[in-house]
Amino acid sequence: MNVLRLLFVLGLLCALPALLPAEPLPNTKPLQAEGDLAARMVAGIDKYLMRELAASVEKRKQYWKPDYSSAENYSKSVQPNRERLKKIIGAVDARLPVEMHYVATTDTPALVAETERYKVYAVRWPVFEGVDGEGLLLEPKDKAIANVVAIPDADQTPEMLVGLAEGMPKDAQFARRLAENGCRVIVPVLIDRQDTWSGNPRIRMTNQPHREFIYRMAFEMGRHIIGYEVQKVLAAVDWFCREKDHAPVAVYGYGEGALIGLHSVAIDTRIGVVAVSGHFGLGADAAMPAQPIYRNVWGFLREFDDAELLMLVFPRLVKLQGSAGPEIKGPPPTTQERRGAAPGTLTFPNDFDKRWQNLLRTVFPATEPQDELKKLMRPNPLQLMEKNDHVLYSLIRGCGAPETFRILPNDVQPKDTRKNFDPAPRQKRQFEQLVNFTQKLLRDSEVVRDKFCWSKLDLSSVEKFEKSTEPLRKYLAEEVIGQLPAPTEPMNPLTREAYDEPKWKGYEVTLDLYPDVFAYGVLLVPKDLKPGEKRPVVVCQHGLEGRPQDVVNPQMKTRAYHSYGAQLADLGYIVYAPQNPYIGKDDFRVLQRKANPLKLSLFSFIVRQHERTLDWLETLPFVDRSKIALYGLSYGGKTAMRVPALEKRYCLSICSGDFNEWVEKMISVERRVSYMFTHEYEMYEFDLGNTFNYAEMAALIAPRPFMVERGHDDGVGIDEMVAYEFAKVRRLYSRLKLPERTEIEFFDGGHVIHGQGTFAFLKKHLHWPK
């Protein structure tokens, strides 16, 4: 009996350590948080972004310095805002000389229809090389009293707006009504929301709306579907304004057409009046990131919303129609053959009156001297109205029609003389022109990046080279990735023991940055550290949907990672495995949607988290601050390109399973490995294609050691693309007379950590193991 009691007590003593709270790392407080810390991290970043979206309304005032002393001074004072708007919507390409061409064949004349008051022609007009605007021209038989671009919603055709095709109520056919009342009207085609041609039939088709398919590739090249279509509208305005004594110019748009029209008027002061229907009020709260992704504009909400766009229109006339806009329930359906579209819905707000009052307070602030405002304002410069005829009358009167002008009765609808007209071939032409134009931007981008980056690097010495990279580093941080303010919270390191292995102990770690935002990871500390000894650190970064535990698991060789962090710890390295926030599928992808309008990205947070991690690692007495390396796989390899390019405290970087001719991978429609065919819509970075491919990022890592690990069978790319891009890196290090500091290892295998050449590279440059 006594023996049994003794065995029971001994068993209880053996089990006691497991029952006690895990010990923290010395000089840190205990980490007591339970549950999924990665999910908490994503949720915390979401809270931060929601606060910033709400605060953006007030914060954007810092970018505006309106001078109401005169119309001329006002226009000058907001010109910097106008130029920044052009940049972020991608309206940056020079337009071709103005021309207007009839569209006709031997079987189909250009004259589409004719009434007693006007003629309707099928037309197109050049915008860029290989890109035309296309639609209908309504030419009044008497002298035009106004020139109007009437822009339908994306899913409406010009024929619907003219009454030549079914789809719109008679009183909503505003293009026809404008022509009946003496206006010359151009009705352009917009890219629609169908998915008919989104993809490459030789590779894969997708369910991305046509607008999203163009948005993705354009965004990476510093362009946008919004900017493209604004340019088409402005090319039509060029034609209107080709003669000095032209009639006043106006724009009238509905739904997506109203969005395009409002942006057009905001950046072009030749347009005197704008009518906006079915669009206003979709702005700065959580609704904007939830909208279709082709409305995502880099940095837009940091400086603009509807009110600020109207400030760019002021003191010209604005007519707002409080009608409901189109409702979009999501992208086309996902099928086995078609998938990959980003989620996104569009619902017109139900608090229109409240938003209208907020708009008035923003555009006409009460703090401004009212007499100065009155000098600039024409009568009723900003009007809200409901009925279509009221909008028509107000717009035409705003263009200078006499007081005696009256809206004529709603006339009969014209008849289309074309037999069985099908708008689909025209839509396909418009779609393919923009795809081809953007693909040409891709082909030309290497030359653009040469001018942007390589021509500015001084290779005469390592010291001069490093100095010459600093402006580029600043540009990458602020203009491409987006820079968060410095952390506002104390670091507050919390830790708890998670592993106790024969050669090392592992600790979970959290570090605070902002309210609700923290860094999390796992630190592995060798047990054979001697007093006062300092060792190199390898920061091992997981990939998409990964966790630190995938990297450091001592019990098994984890899939893809082969527990390479644990392997390095067994060799005596200090290892830190951070949790990056690209986990949770659309839960993390929506962070990118909320961040981009604030001129931020997921990597804005990742960079700050890595900086805070380095701040803490440098405080540990056993860490050699001069030897902290980064080694990442997949999305972790994406991290290994961007973070060390900005954070110079990383002494070495290894990119595994990610290094690529990255811009081509992002937007090529001819590569099977392209993200154009996948669901990873968060990958796109504004204007990256003209600034930083992976060779340019590696140039910001140089002269520090840099290595690429590439499996021949890795589907993330193809060897030829990887080798082509790396050749530029090798050439750079050679010209810096440091060829031994860069390597690439090709191996037989896939998207995995190989851990052979890379481990040797770490040993060579970190001088460990001794």
Confidence (pLDDT) at 107: 87
The strand pairing partners of 22, in sequence order, are: none
pLDDT band at 322 (very low <50, low <70, confident <90, very high): confident
Whether 524 and 552 have beta carbons less than 8 Å apart is answered as yes
Q: Is the pLDDT higher at 173 or at 364?
A: 173
pLDDT band at 13 (very low <50, low <70, confident <90, very high): very low
Q: Average pLDDT over the chain, rounded to whole?
A: 92
Higher pLDDT, 391 or 235: 235
pLDDT digits (tens, 9 = 90+) for 260-273: 999 999 999 999 99
Nearest to 661 by CA among 761, 731, 729, 606: 729
The pLDDT of residue 634: 98
Is residue 384 scored above 70 in pLDDT?
Answer: no
Burial profile 411-423: b = 16 or more Cβ within 10 angstroms, e = fewer: beebebebeebee
Q: Give which of 598, 664, 654 is closest to 628, Cα–Cα.
A: 654
**Per-residue confidence (pLDDT) for residue 434, from 0 to 100:** 98
For residue 116, what pLDDT is reported?
A: 94
pLDDT over 50 at 555, yes or no: yes
Lowest mean pLDDT among 224-228, 392-396, 531-535: 392-396
pLDDT of 338: 95
Predicted local distance difference test score (pLDDT) of residue 92: 98
User: What per-residue string of b and e applies to 674-696 under the rule 16 or more CB within 10 Å gives b?
Assistant: bbbbebebbbbbbbbbbbbbbbb
Q: What residue type is assigned to position 358 of the chain?
A: N
Confidence band (pLDDT; 50, 70, 90) for 546?
very high
Cα 239 to Cα 139, 242, 706: the distances in Å are: 13, 5, 54
pLDDT tens by residue, 387-414: 788 889 989 999 999 989 999 988 889 9
Assign residue 737 a region (left: φ > 0; alpha: ψ between -120 and 50; beta: otherwise): left
Mean pLDDT within 491-501: 97
Report d(CA 681, CA 99) in Å as an integer.
37
pTM across the whole model: 0.94
Buried b vs exposed e over 141-177: b needs ≥16 C-beta within 10 Å? Answer: eeebbbbbbbbbbbbbbbbbbbbbbeebeeebbbbbb
pLDDT beyond 50 at 366: no
The per-residue pLDDT for 486 is 97
Q: Mind listing the pLDDT tens digit for each residue in 61-77? A: 999 999 988 889 999 99
Q: Is the pLDDT of residue 1 over 60?
A: no
Residues 714-747 have pLDDT tens digits of: 999 999 999 999 999 999 999 999 999 999 999 9
Of the spans 16-25, 104-113, 694-703, which averages the highest pLDDT?
A: 694-703
The pLDDT score that the predictor gives to residue 325 is 85
Q: What is the structure's pLDDT at 379?
A: 52
Residue 289 has pLDDT above 70, yes or no: yes
CA quadruple 386, 390, 395, 398: dihedral sign: negative
What mean pLDDT is predicted for residues 112-129? 97
Answer yes or no: is pLDDT of 378 > 80. no
Q: Looking at residues 278-290, what average pLDDT do you find?
A: 68
Q: What is the pLDDT of residue 278?
A: 87
Residue % of the chain over a pLDDT of 90: 82
Question: What pLDDT, in 10s, does the model give residues 667-690?
Answer: 999 999 999 999 999 999 999 999
pLDDT tens for residues 604-631?
Answer: 999 999 999 999 999 999 999 999 999 9
Quick one: which of 256, 124, 245, 117 has its CA closest to 184? 117
pLDDT at 218: 98
